[in-house]
Structure 1
């Protein structure tokens, strides 16, 4: 049996009627969080560029573009635009197993197809959970080497999550899903070299698009090599390399806890790269104890994060708001001098405040090799010689061990969505997400997230 067929049979063991209530609740929260950050992500200028390039206005379809005033596009283009918007601000949910963002490639694909198919919320949730399990269990056997080699797992593995979820939405059997996954193996891409640029979010939109495309092509009878993963020139050997992956780690354990539940999905608190969150939280711990730090009180600052995290966050002189989201130096400086990080802190024309500009040259960032890859430490030496230090170990966001409450998630959603839906409309859309029942239609929710005015 080919790997793709075996993986598909495992994926199809996930059924709505056997999902625990906790999984349903997490799925609804994931849909809400993804839509919320995508609505905020519509503010980035390159989304307009993407829509213009795709000629969205002259290619109207049946799938909703979230927050676009009722505009619609083809299923493929909606998946791409909404997927790009969902990752535009790097504020989407995280998976420690995946080393990336599980929901952003999947939710746009599922919701776009749901409109074409008039699918129920239950169908969408079943497909979403299937997609998350496929991409995260692939990560079990491919990471950390896959990430360290320079691939962007949210895209390179997210395409398989989107493909599996799309196959589930279309009612595929194991053979058809296997063909979809095999086809998606030739559509996987995303390079860490483009972190800090608009291309990184487009990786995710492309993953959503390509996952749907692989499923739709399969539906039309197009075939792929069933051994596209394990072939000598297949995904495993080309994207990872011989001896750097573990197929059994991917295919075993499907009768155990869902990845969705353990280790689960983490909701991001800070709108920036998760690899810097430990340093941010250590800095905020110092602020909580000692108050906000005036630049003139600071002689020097030392940050320490895992060398794997530091590799793409060591940016001592960020050139834009987006670049600053990946700068552990900037993010630490902002946390110490402002006591929080908000979406508005990364505007290109205002991100580099006088306080941050004064503090950045005083920061030295180094990497460690501790077993805890999420450990971060910030040490502040004051001008009077006092040394203040704090540690944190933040796994990209608030997960099952320290969950964000529904109230806190609503606050995040409203902060993200109010700019496009209005505060009243944002509250209504969030409530609609969390109230979804398996038998419900998704029409009302999609109408609520389509408008620019309050509902």
Structure 2
């Protein structure tokens, strides 16, 4: 009989063998991955002018890098760090199972494609390898890593980035196992940074770490073969209560069909999207003027409330993690987009007046398919005349299981491209992004020193 511990010691190897076996895609998976990469590229371009992106370029001496899809001749890890920071800067990028998968994986693949051009189909296959590796590890944890203080995108991200790169570089199972092990030693990032420019920087570090793990593997550095599942390894180290499955069969190759990707309608933390949907639903029915509101009650999960830590935001970064601000924005403006994240609006008297009326309460329990969320969020608007209106939301619009109409996401992508550094190329770039699987040569999308993109 094989012991449980012996079974556990095979996890890193099992994932590595799956990565090396390729291909990793079904037509449905490819279509969704392509949508995720297109969404990520769009928000990355829109986030290129964010303060976090500017700061990172300054310290790396890349202040004159104007177009993210025409990068300078630098090592791919550096390029990936900058692209990933911009992709997450607006907090407008997609997510899955509480993690920002595309904001790590897409920049990594773009940076590698800038170094060694490939096909769009190969990029998508590598994306899926990274996604499935990420999902496999996340699914083994029964508790909220957010609640422990871990930023999961910065914790799982390096390992997923390494997995994706292993596919593009054609590494064998031994090399894949070693790269995963090294990447596990590069994980890190804390929830305390939410609402600051350090949050997208943590995602940038994850992208860079994947390159370093693969480069060290190719250079001959070896690492523990069981770093993921060892009793003192990655999974146990990040587990909030030790309720993590280090043994048992893997389900790599099945997670995308089960979890998909969740596309954001608002450029703020996903933890508040359900509440915003609920408030908008009430407003669409009642058309209540903000001045008639006496009090706004919102109930969210404990982990959500911990992430949404800014009750009185004064900056754009803080507003993205402020549920009272999100409520005020949608009630005053009928929506929440990049325009509402202007510092003058955030600190306006109208917003401040509504902030004082928002009461946030917590509820226990976890959503069965979204572990960072409560089973549902509820909102109630109490009016000065004694009436009240309530709404309960289980999944936000744009979630994999509650998809938004295609035209909503198409409009988002078009708006982000128009707000990016090359609005003159937005329509041509969009045509390339619509079907990445048909792209024969990624130089049509990204290339080092290429001045006239997607011509």
TM-score (norm 1): 0.90
The one of 273, 276, 280 aligned to 2:276: 280
**What is the Cα deviation at residue 453 of structure 1?**
9.6
**What is the Cα deviation at residue 340 of structure 1?**
0.4
**What is the Cα deviation at residue 259 of structure 1?**
1.7
C-alpha RMSD over aligned residues: 2.5
Give the match's secondary structure for 1:323: helix
Structure-1 separation of matches of 2:44 and 2:125 = 22
Structure-2 separation of matches of 1:379 and 1:6 = 48
**Matching residue of 1:108:** 107
Q: CA 1:371–1:77 in 2, change beyond 3 Å: closer, same or farther? A: closer
Structure-2 separation of matches of 1:403 and 1:40 = 23
Q: Which runs of structure 2 are paired with 1:123-202 in the superposition (5 Å)?
A: 123-202=122-201
2:84–2:203 CA contact under 8 A, matched in 1: yes
Q: CA 1:261–1:399 in 2, change beyond 3 Å: closer, same or farther? A: farther
**Matching residue of 1:61:** none
Q: Which runs of structure 2 are paired with 1:187-266 in the superposition (5 Å)?
A: 187-240=186-239, 243-248=242-247, 251-254=249-252, 258-266=254-262
Q: CA 1:330–1:166 in 2, change beyond 3 Å: closer, same or farther? A: same
Paired positions, count: 441
Q: Deviations over 1:307-365 (max 9, x none)?
A: 22112214321121110111111101211221101112112343233321111101111
1:273–1:325 CA contact under 8 A, matched in 2: yes
1:190–1:203 CA contact under 8 A, matched in 2: yes
Q: Any stretches of 5+ residues in structure 2 without a counterpart?
A: 1-8, 368-373
Structure-1 separation of matches of 2:49 and 2:289 = 31
**Matching residue of 1:375:** 376
1:12–1:130 CA contact under 8 A, matched in 2: no
Q: CA 1:13–1:400 in 2, change beyond 3 Å: closer, same or farther? A: farther
**What is the Cα deviation at residue 144 of structure 1?**
2.4
2:33 is equivalent to residue 27 of structure 1: yes
Q: Any stretches of 5+ residues in structure 1 without a counterpart?
A: 59-63
| Higher RCO (CA < 8 A, seq sep 6+) | 2
TM-score (norm 2): 0.90
2:72–2:449 CA contact under 8 A, matched in 1: no
Q: CA 1:444–1:69 in 2, change beyond 3 Å: closer, same or farther? A: closer
Q: Which runs of structure 2 are paired with 1:48-87 in the superposition (5 Å)?
A: 48-56=54-62, 66-67=67-68, 71-87=72-88
Q: CA 1:333–1:187 in 2, change beyond 3 Å: closer, same or farther? A: same
Structure-1 separation of matches of 2:338 and 2:41 = 16
**Matching residue of 1:303:** 298
1:420–1:453 CA contact under 8 A, matched in 2: no
1:422–1:454 CA contact under 8 A, matched in 2: no
Structure-2 separation of matches of 1:195 and 1:452 = 36
**Matching residue of 1:321:** 316
2:282–2:390 CA contact under 8 A, matched in 1: yes
**Matching residue of 1:90:** 91
